[in-house]
Structure 1
């Protein structure tokens, strides 16, 4: 509970900005997910079309302070790299866990201690 008028105003402002930031973050995640799903399905043309809009959204979020500058650069870079990558490779990576197989192989290769 706010003790002064200025604290009450700050609380109202804070809650309003929190909702705006949450909405912007949700939109960014949904757009990224949509692009990733299009790439997995092999629809690179549609993903490329959405990529420019996604980059614009991320840049605007960084400009308004909702994302840090390097975070926005990293996100756009990863999505662009995904769109440019080979579809078969992306699908294969999604199906398997890279760390699980070597561990199992290493455990089987060592003989039991006597």
Structure 2
């Protein structure tokens, strides 16, 4: 659908910018969380603890900029920290 007004054209441009930013950030979150979970599954506690810092920071930044809801980020960070602490 084509925008009918100038403001709608601007909204289309800004929406596309926001969509691309969201995809980039959420893709990064998925990627580093997957790497983190692989370390936890392998039982590498030291490496997982180091990766936890990176994952936690990424979620905090995403929540701050509104890409991920703040409570979602807090829940993820909490559960990921628990998974590190459960490694024997």
- What TM-score range do you get, normalising by the shorter chain? over 0.9
Count of aligned pairs between the two proteins: 87
Query: Which residue pairs with 1:15 in the alignment?
Result: 16
Runs (4+) of structure 1 exceeding 6 A deviation are none
Q: Deviations over 1:31-74 (max 9, x none)?
A: 11101101111211111111111111101111100111110100
- Provide the TM-score with structure 1 as the length reference: 0.73
SS of the residue 1:61 aligns to? helix
TM-score by structure 2 length? Answer: 0.93
Paired residue for 2:52? 51
Partner of 1:2: 3
Q: Greater CA radius of gyration, 1 or 2?
A: 1
Structure 1 alignment gaps of length 5 or more: 88-114
- Gapped regions of structure 2 (runs ≥ 5): none
RMSD of aligned Cα (Å): 1.0
Secondary structure of the corresponding residue to residue 34 of structure 1 = helix
> Is 1:60 aligned to residue 70 of structure 2?
no
